[in-house]
Structures are given as structure tokens and as C-alpha cells.
Chains A and B, each alone.
Chain A
Amino acid sequence: MARFVARRLAGMVLVLFVVSLLVFAIFNVIPNSDPAQRMAGKNAEPILVKSIEEDWGFDEPLPVQYWSMMEKVFSGELISYGDELNVDERILEGIPATFSLCIGAAVIWLFFGILFGYLSATRAGGWLDRALTVGSVAGISIPVFLIAAVLLYLFTYKIELFPASGYVPLLDDPLQWAYHLILPWFTLAVLNIGFYSRVLRSNMLDVMREDYVRTARAKGLDERRVLIRHVLRNSLIPVITLFGLDFGATIGGGAIITEAIFSLGGVGQYAADSITNLDLPPLMAITLFGAFFVVFFNAVTDVVYAYLDPRIRLGSSAQ
């Protein structure tokens, strides 16, 4: 176990380092990204641009700029170029919204994904299976922004059932919190429900053919027990590991479009805004934030996988 943790920490440091380098490099290569120019505005005097450069240190060599930015990221003193506000603080403000969106959507997509997958597999070939299959494929194919647009149109405009935007903190008003998040939750979940139900269906059909399922029946277990304790349990292992990676990626940035469309003011929206403004500091910090979660959930997934499948145990040597 110690060996596992040590390796993962080392890996994480390496990944974050490479990511930060990449972001920094990309930024300095994109046209129109010169921050001094952007801050000075259009048709600014070269003298103004030069003085901004000196103030902010844009005239220093790139490695020095990189190093000082990194220092500020981790000391909490990073200031964005666009609105001159503290980046790290802004991220912290956005976390509740982002987490609420991602965790809520994840619970929904896991629940329905597993339910539909189970129903499809146990009634394979029947009408329910076919209906769910069509639904799943549709869910996977339709882009997030289209789903969001359709939901907004139907449920906030045609029928004024839900609010179109905004985030209400959980502790302020739980009911309003949920009320504002229902549409975003489903928008984010639809794609994954389709995907997960397909994956689970396929796994279950494979597992049902395994020898140990036959043994379970031969022991005289009732069918429900066979399906849940033997078939479902084993079929879920790849699904759970997939979920770990997906969830990490979602928090790490997969929710950007949804947040932006519903104006939830989370980290994703901050990222969307910063991209539009080509504002480097927030993007650097958010990218690192995202990368951290992806790597972290990757590691958690591996641990959970070892727990679910005793044939894979971390840190133990072969018998």
C-alpha cells in the first residue's frame, strides 16, 4: 500500500508539472494572447503597453515568468489579468456550485444507468430492452448543449417549471438549491445514463454465461439472488472503475458547457469566461485544479477496484 501511494504521489507531481508547462507554452504561442496588449486595450500607446509589461513582469524571460506564476498559484496570491482579482479565491467560491452539479449529476446517472442496464440485460431482446437501447443511443449522440437548449426551452419557457439560471447555495435554501439544479443535473446525466446502461447491459450478458452463474443456480439459489449477488455484482466492477475516471474528468472540466449554459457561476463557468478572455492565470490554476482531481480519482479508482476484485490486490506479492 505504501508503495502504491508513493508511486501515485510521484506520478501526480509529474503530471501537474507537465500540464502546467503545456498550458504555459500554449499560452505564449497563441496569437492575440499578449496580456499587456489586452490589458491596455485597443489602440493603446506603446508606452502604456511597455509600462504594463514592466509592472507585471511580462518583460522577464519566460522561465522566470513561469516560475513566479507557479509560486503564486500555490501561495494563493495569483491575480488574474482580466479583472485583477485573486484567482484562487474565485475558484474556491465556485467550488460549491461545481461540486453540487457534478455530484448530483453523478448520483443520477449512476442510479439510472445501472437500473436501465439491469432491466435491459434481464429482458434482453424484449421490447423494454429495445426501447432502452434506442433511448441510450439517443442520449449518447445528442450533444450537451442541444439537450440543455431543449430542456431550457421546454421547462423554463414553454412551461415555466424551473428557473433558467443561477445557483442557490445549499445551506441557504436546500429546496431552491435543488430546484435550480434539476435541469443542469439531467443535462449532464443524460449522456452518461445512456453510456453506462449500455456498458452494464453488455457486461451482464457476458457474466450470465460464466460458469459460476451456472454453479449458483445448481446450488438452488433463487433467480433474484443469482442475478444480483452473482451477475450484477461482477458486472459492476468495470462500471465502477469507469465511473471513477468519468467523475474525475467531470469535476476536472467536463461540466464546463453545462455550467456556462445555466449560469451556475462555478469553476467551469470561470474557465469558460477565462478562455474567452484569454486570461492565463485563472486558466492555469483551473487546469491544475482539474488535473489534480483527475489524477486523484484515478488513484481512488484503482484502490476501489482492488477492493471489488480480490484477484487484484495492491502491494501484495504473488503466492
Chain B
Amino acid sequence: MATGEPLLEVTDLVKHFPIKEGLLIDREVDQVRAVDGVSFSVARGQTLGLVGESGSGKSTVCRAMLQLLKPTAGSVRFEGEEIAGLSRRRLRPLRREMQMIFQDPYASLNPRKRVGQIVGDPLKLQGVASGGQLRTQVQELLERVGLSSEHYDRYPHEFSGGQRQRIGIARAVALKPKLVVADEPVSALDVSIQAQIINLLDDLQDELGLTYVFVAHDIGVVRHISDRVAVMHEGKIVEQGSADQVCEHPTDAYTKKLLAAVPIPDPRESRARRQGAASPS
């Protein structure tokens, strides 16, 4: 369902963290090039998968993109408008349209707030609803993500990791944003729960017409949910293309290495691959 203009367009995004040293006064001596010139675009209703290992910069890209960190350089266009470097005040109305889901379901929910409050806060802050209407909307949201409306009054610690992640998702989609950035949303979950959450995200995308940027280190999961995939290594994108293309016919050496390292959950195939690797071809 992609229209002509991409929803999100990132060009030459750079985020450096300074390393400071000096005798009496700190001077910048070097930089950590977390994101070193990254470009991609995401069409409306599509999913871009960003995959890489630890230190590749993928989480930093998410934060710099959403202006949670100020980019060092580069352009981020959301619906055609430049948002990189915008002031907090100017960004505020845009926050409705861009939301984030975080990795750690145990750390990303305020343990002192009730679930109803956590999910309802975005609605309240943006002035969408209040009072009884707010409560009804939040309860509907909870049901939609697979929880029950009675969970409204409970606290996060009463839930399992998978359920907490559902709460985080409910919070993220409460304002019906256009773009949702999911930073490793299933990595901390058990395998059988991961599939549930991925299916939920898929369903929500169809229902609400969401556009996703999905970050993960598990290339199998990324491939399943994404239309396009970008592979990150040391702050740069080394390969991008359609999901099938990148995963089945990689051209970059690092991508090939990454794919070759993924264990195949099939003993015969696994043995064959290792024998094939052992003997010269």
C-alpha cells in the first residue's frame, strides 16, 4: 500500500559521541562513531528490518531518528518534513505520530504506575481523551493487545515478560501513530512468546496501517516480519534490499558471515553445511 513519497527518509545520519580528555579542561580527543552515515527510507505501511550485532549502532539509529538523541549530522524527513535538529517544542505535536517500543519489558514500564495509567498517559498528555472516556479507550486497547480490561488497575510487576511487552505495545499504539520503531521488542522473551508478540505486531500493522522500523539481532525474526532489510555493521549499513533478497542472496561479506553463523535448527542440514564448509569447494 505504498504511496509515492516514503513516510520516513533518513539520509547520511551521523551520531558521534565525543571522548574527552585533558589536563585541567576536557577537550574532545576522539569520537565513538556509533552511527557513521546511514541512509534508508521506509514506505507507508511497510516494515523495515534493521539487523546487526551488538555495537553495530542499530539502537542509536532508532534514537537519533526519533530525535531522542540529537543527531550529529544528517537529515531525517518524516512525511516530507525535516525533523532533525528541531526544538522540543516543535517536535511535540509530531510525537503523536512516532512511537517506540523498547527491548526490556522489565525496565521500560514505570513500576509505580498502574497499567491503566501507563497506557493512558500518552492519550492524556496529547489531550485526546480524559476521565471515563479515557478509561474505556485504554481498556479497549488492552483487550486488543491480548490482555484483559481488568488488568487496568494492576501494576507491572504482576505480569510476565510477554505480558509486559504487550503493555508496552498498547502504550505505543494508543495514539494511533503513523510510525512505530521497535527496538529489539522480542529479544528478552521466551521463544514461544516471541511468536505471539510478532504475530500481534503483524496484526496491529494491518489493522492500524502502521509503518514499522524493526530492530533486532535475530536475523530470522527480522526476515519474517520485514519487507525490506538493512544490515548494520560498525555504524554503517553494509547491505539493504528486500528481505528475501538480502537473506537468500546476500552480496556483502559481512552479511554472508552473519547468515552463515545462524545455526540451522535441522540436524541433517546442519551437518551438511558443516561438512560442506570443512571440505574445499
Contact = CB atoms under 8 A, between A and B. Distances in A.
Contacts of B22: 3
Nearest to B32: A318
B21 A317 contact: yes
B23 A317 contact: no
B24 interface: yes
B128 interface: no
Interface in A165-187: none
A6 B23 CA distance: 7
B193 interface: no
Contacts of A6: 23-24
B19 A10 contact: no
A2 interface: yes
A7 interface: yes
A126 to B, nearest CB: 30
A10 B24 contact: yes
Contacts of B21: 3, 317
Contacts of A317: 19, 21, 29
B19 A7 contact: no
B89 to A, nearest CB: 35
Contacts of A2: 23
A317 B21 CA distance: 8
B19 A3 contact: no
Nearest to B30: A317
A198 B22 CA distance: 39
A3 B29 CA distance: 14
A317 B23 CA distance: 13
Interface of A: 2-3, 6-7, 10, 317-318
Interface of B: 19, 21-24, 29
Given A3-B21, A3-B23, A317-B21, 10 more contacts: A2-B23, A3-B22, A6-B23, A6-B24, A7-B23, A7-B24, A10-B24, A317-B19, A317-B29, A318-B19
- Give the 8 A-B residue pairs with the shortest CB-CB distance, closest first: A6-B23, A3-B23, A6-B24, A10-B24, A7-B24, A317-B21, A318-B19, A317-B19
9 contacts: A3-B21, A3-B22, A3-B23, A6-B23, A6-B24, A317-B19, A317-B21, A317-B29, A318-B19
